[in-house]
Amino acid sequence: MAGDTKWLPYLRRNACATFRLFCFAYAGGFASIFRTWEAGLPSEIEICAVQLPGRQTRHAEQLASDLEPLINDLVAGLGPFLDKPYAVFGHSLGALIGYCLVRRLQVEQCLSAGHLFVSACRAPQFVCEHPSTRAMSDLEFTDYVRRLRGTPDAILDDPEAAKLVIPAVRADFALLESYVHQDLGKLACPISAFGGLQDDVVPPEQLDAWKDQTAARFEMRMYPEAHFFLDRRRAQILRAIAADLSEHLGSAKTDER
């Protein structure tokens, strides 16, 4: 398989894999947060952690701040890796990026995902309700990010560390705010949603509204945390992913709770 691996810097080719899971991080996040996921999933699943421009292994590139051109680049960059059945996982902003990618592939290439996993993200019809950050000063934006409790205070309080992190987070929020929802019909694939009961960013009813985006089955799982529960609930999320993909893998369904 040939392809530009700058999008997938941590890809470990797995000869046993019959299925690929493309993973998208939250705003300001890196592909490296998914490096340990493979160990918690069946060997048939190959983890494809997507690295966006301007961070970690792609730090010399310009940060993306417009969603439509980013999706264009993702379709081109990931195209060679779509030669196997695939699913997509994304947390927060990553879920919206994953949804846009899955929809584009379904509409333009008639290539349906096997499953879409969305975590801590409002259904796309509610994305416009996020507060705009474009007019915020750097101080106001940093305070807003601090209130989301997704970036450690030690980083935000360190001017040098903040210089590295805040531009990426700010660009990612611009990506979010550039999204324009269009009703293009339902996805053919099932959708599984993960949420936090203490999440004051994504209300449960707006997470549940993902069910309106699929013509297949929908399931929602909730955990007793706030917006950034991804690390704390990693084991449960991986079990749920394995269970929901079991029909594609030919393996017995496991208890995902």
SS3 (DSSP) at 182: coil
Of 40, 48, 39, nearest to 78 by C-alpha is: 48
Output phi, psi for 225, to 5 deg.
-130, 180
CB of 135 within 8 A of CB of 28? no
Distance of CA 256 to the CA centre of its chain: 20
Of 116, 108, 107, 52, nearest to 86 by C-alpha is: 116
Residue 178 among the catalytic residues: no
Contacts by 178-184, CB closer than 8 A, 24 or more apart: 178/65, 178/66, 178/67, 178/68, 179/67, 179/96, 179/100, 179/124, 179/127, 179/128, 181/124, 181/125, 181/127, 181/128, 183/125, 184/103, 184/107
CB of 231 within 8 A of CB of 221? no
From the list 65, 92, 137, 246, the catalytic residue is 92
CB of 98 within 8 A of CB of 20? no
- Helix 93-109 to helix 67-78 angle (10° resolution) is 60
**Other residues' Cβ atoms within 10 Å of the Cβ of residue 189:** 20
Residues marked as catalytic = 92
